[in-house]
Chains A and B, each alone.
Chain A
Amino acid sequence: GAVVSQHPSRVICKSGTSVKIECRSLDFQATTMFWYRQFPKQSLMLMATSNEGSKATYEQGVEKDKFLINHASLTLSTLTVTSAHPEDSSFYICSALAEPSTDTQYFGPGTRLTVL
């Protein structure tokens, strides 16, 4: 089956620093990837849609200058949390649409970000 990986799986950083999270589709190409965040005991909240070769589309209320998304190739999207603060601590999950399907999303294992 289609596999999506994320790196790192866990990261701890100091307040004010930036953190980059990678999302890779390992055995398929993904024109579209999605980034979610999830707080404890809560559902997944879509942050943005990442499109290869174009700008990401952000959901309402998500700061695009805070959460930088780059989708430079058909197998890699990155999320950079800039000037991280403790309230950015969360579980970040990516997913990828397996072409040519536009419905089937494969999820990564998630990245636990802790900002001290």
Chain B
Amino acid sequence: GESVGLHLPTLSVQEGDNSIINCAYSNSASDYFIWYKQESGKGPQFIIDIRSNMDKRQGQRVTVLLNKTVKHLSLQIAATQPGDSAVYFCAEIRPGSWGKLQFGAGTQVVVTP
């Protein structure tokens, strides 16, 4: 549901450092998870996904880790760049939901020089 009145948590990262963005999901039955990046005034952009039969997946400079025991998802960005500054959302799809995405609250990443 909508997080009315809440402010986005902010992660401040120095350029070149690694970023770790965390997300707790709610439904233990969810079997597909996606990370999206949203720049100001734009739509969400797909970064990486992972299915529940995996615990780790790597892409270009990004790694997603899934811990089903504690219902936790993380996104690691290696060598963070200024262009990585954005809001990052995790999203889950529950079985039988016909592709409906349930978005997390989001994390604002600010990359400092």
Q: Among the listed B1, B8, B43, B100, which residue makes an inter-chain contact with A41, where contact means beta carbons less than 8 Å apart?
A: B8
Among A42, A44, A102, the residue within 8 A (CB) of B4 is: A42
Q: Tell me if B42 is interfacial: C-beta within 8 Å of chain A.
A: yes
A23-57: CB near B (< 8 Å → 1, else 0) gives 00000000010100001011111100100000000
| Contact B7 A43, beta carbon cutoff 8 Å | no
The secondary structure that dominates the A interface is strand
**A82 interface residue, CB < 8 Å from B?**
no
Is the pair B43, A107 in contact by a Cβ cutoff of 8 Å?
A: yes
- Choose from A44, A97, A103 the contact partner of B32 (Cβ within 8 Å): A103
A104 CB, min distance to chain B CBs, angstroms: 8
Instruction: Note all chain A residues with C-beta closer than 8 A to B2.
Output: 39, 42-43, 45
| Interchain Cβ contacts within 8 Å, total number | 64
What residues of A have a CB within 8 angstroms of the CB of B104 in the complex?
A: 43
Chain A residues with CB below 8 A from B98, complex form: 32, 49, 102
B90 to chain A: closest residue by CB: A43
Is B16 positioned at the interface, with any CB of A under 8 Å from its CB?
no
Q: State whether A42 touches B6 (Cβ < 8 A).
A: yes
| Most B Cβ at <10 Å: residue of A34, A44, A93, A109 | A44
Instruction: Give Cα A4 to B46, complex, Å.
Output: 13
Cβ contacts A to B, 17 pairs, < 8 Å: A32-B98, A39-B4, A42-B2, A42-B4, A42-B6, A43-B2, A43-B103, A43-B105, A45-B2, A91-B41, A95-B101, A103-B93, A105-B101, A109-B42, A109-B43, A110-B42, A110-B43
Interface residues of A (CB under 8 A from B): 4, 6, 32, 34, 39, 41-46, 49, 91, 93, 95, 97, 102-110, 112
